C-alpha cells in the first residue's frame, strides 16, 4: 500500500511540474486570439479608435508576454491572425500598443519576423 501512495504522489508531482512549466505558453495564444477579435473593428479600419475592451486585452498581452518564448508564440499567433483576416491593416496592428497607451513586446503584423522578437 505504501508503494501505491508513493507512486500516486510521484504522478501528482510530475503533473504539477508539467502543468506549471507549460501553462504560460499555451494560454497566450488564446489571449492573442481573443484580444485581436476585440480589436478587429479597429484593425480592419472599421472604426477610428480601438475600444476599451481591445485596449484592456492589449495591456494584458503586454503584461503576460514576459519571456522570449511567450513573446514569440504571441507574435506568431498574431501574425497568423493578421495573414488570415481580410482588410487587416498592418500599420494599425503595429501601432496598436501605442494607441492603447502601452508597449507591446512583439509586433502585430502579417509580415512580422517573430524569430527576431526577444
pLDDT single digits (tens) 50-96: 999 999 999 999 999 999 999 999 999 999 999 999 999 999 999 99
The region of weakest confidence among 1-5, 15-19, 58-62 is 15-19
In this prediction, residue 16 carries a pLDDT of 52
Cell, residue 85: 483576416
Domain spans in the chain, listed from the N-terminal domain onward: 25-116
Confidence of residue 15 (pLDDT cuts 50, 70, 90): low
Superfamily in which the 25-116 domain is placed by CATH:
Plant lipid-transfer and hydrophobic proteins (1.10.110.10)
Q: How much of the chain, in percent, has pLDDT values that exceed 70?
A: 78
Confidence of residue 27 (pLDDT cuts 50, 70, 90): confident
CA dihedral 114, 112, 30, 88 (to 10 degrees): 180
Amino acid at each position: 500500500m505504501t508503494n501505491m501512495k508513493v507512486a500516486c504522489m510521484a504522478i501528482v508531482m510530475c503533473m504539477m511540474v508539467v502543468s506549471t512549466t507549460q501553462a504560460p505558453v499555451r494560454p497566450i495564444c488564446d489571449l492573442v486570439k481573443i484580444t485581436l477579435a476585440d480589436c478587429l473593428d479597429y484593425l480592419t479600419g472599421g472604426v477610428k479608435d480601438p475600444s476599451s475592451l481591445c485596449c484592456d486585452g492589449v495591456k494584458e498581452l503586454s503584461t503576460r508576454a514576459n519571456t522570449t518564448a511567450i513573446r514569440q508564440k504571441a507574435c506568431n499567433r498574431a501574425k497568423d491572425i493578421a495573414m488570415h483576416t481580410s482588410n487587416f491593416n498592418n500599420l494599425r496592428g503595429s501601432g496598436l500598443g501605442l494607441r492603447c497607451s502601452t508597449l507591446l513586446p512583439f509586433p502585430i503584423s502579417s509580415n512580422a519576423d517573430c524569430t527576431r522578437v526577444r
